[in-house]
Structure 1
Amino acid sequence: MDWPRDLAGWPNRDYSSRIAARPHRWHVQRMGRGPVVLLIHGAGGATHSWRDVMPVLAPHAHVVALDLPGQGFTQAGTRARSGLEPTAADIAALCADQGWDPIGIVGHSAGVAVALRLSQMLHATPAVVGINPALDKFEGVAGWLFPVLAKALALNPLTPFLFTIGGASGRRARQLIEGTGSHLADEGYRLYSRLMSNRSHISGTLQMMASWELDGLIAELPKVNAHTLFLAATGDRAVPVSVAERAAARMPDAKVEILNDLGHLAHEEAPEMVARRILAFLGLDKTARARQVP
């Protein structure tokens, strides 16, 4: 990719920078001053997922959003570090390299698992906010079939080409997103369509899926001491509310708040409301508690 022209039309591009911290070349967006709050997108996403959340958080914190290795505009240095454990370790190394000491980590979907594991790796345990946390394993046949398929696709060099041949239509992006229970403005569908047309992004996403393993984290949930809030949307067709409730019940300091009438991309559907809940939970905005939507 031709940096920075490859960012043309990307949300908040004026706040983008690239940071070389082994083994990756990270794309990060930084906005605001104050205590650091780190934002981690889910599988197949990128910094655009936080496009309307960041400006609400920025008056109260130094907000840092990053693209996961191989996804969005982050160039992965190796395919061998796409799983949960190495991803969290590499983000911890990035934080150390940049002198970031987050007081809070906000994750979405699979990014919640990264946030929880990362909270155990940092010197001072940050609070965690998880939006529709993907913290459960597939059951039955899917439990072994889906990872095997993902690994096979990731290892096939033709897969990204086949996924992106002819480009990704806005209609296909809309169908996938609305299949998770979310409804976005046209810009949101356009941005996801753009990602779905990018072979490097597709390859990075498939590699993450093929390497994903949650057994260790799920087993250790009773030892995850981070002050945690799960925001679970009732309209999420990808991750049911019960996943957040089961995870919170096994953790020493976790609670669940329900988001009514929203889907899997709740923070993109209602960014102001989600951002205010984040601020209130992290204690960054005293007025956020008064304005918090029930």
Structure 2
Amino acid sequence: MSWFKRSTAGINTATENKKEAPDGMWNKCPNCKKALLNVEQVENSYVCHYCDYHIRIGSAAYFSILFDNNEFQELFPNLQAGDPLGFVDSKPYKDRLLDSQAKTGLKDAIRCGHGKVEGQDVVVACMDFNFIGGSMGSVVGEKIARSIDYCLEHKLPFMLISKSGGARMMEAAFSLMQMAKTSAKLALLSKAQLPYICLLTDPTTGGVTASYAMLGDINIAEPGALIGFAGPRVIKETIKKDLPKGFQTSEFVLEHGFLDFIVDRRQLKSKLATFLRHVN
């Protein structure tokens, strides 16, 4: 009859004295759904140690992984978007910007920093998906352009980490012009024979893929990242055909010649430092 009775053996803590785990200590892997201790995630570069899934992270985490002792000089930190069109959808664009800034603590969808990677000087620009889907607006384009100018002035290599849903619709043609603007600046970087490294992460889509994200001297990606222009659902509905298995994953893109290699995030810093030593 013990099946129908609660055994009190071994239960020594009163309910009112039990403590909940503090918020933020644990997360669940989006892929395998197993619980992950936050401290272990940081130590493992935010890669699931059960299934090797690369968890989405922002610029703060990437900078901590790449820059020596997480020391860097942030470039152009105070640039903020305007509202040239007075855009209103479900809410005014101005309000959406303020909400995103309050939620993320960021000014816009990209941060840029100058620091050292295993002693090698480099400028890194990293997109933040949590800020309006990492969308490319005028501030994103301007920060990339100014970072390239900074590299030209100081003779430094440039790395860009893309994570974006594409151009920012609330800025219309102003956002689309960033594709041409950044590509023209990258041509100047190439003319000066300064290296440009692109890291494509999950997801990299839309006008970002169609411009600066695929123009690197080397194009690398994280495992399993979604990389493409239009999304697979849109493409499937347009061509009315089933897509190949693994379509638009970084592995698929590598197989078809649009990437140089795929790098595990835990090896990213050493791989980047090795490349910089070879080109400097």
Which TM-score band (shorter chain)?
0.3 to 0.5
- Between Structure 1 and Structure 2, whose CA radius of gyration is higher? 2
Q: Return the structure number with greater relative CO, CA threshold 8 A, min gap 6.
A: 1
TM-score by length of 2: 0.34
Higher helix proportion: 1
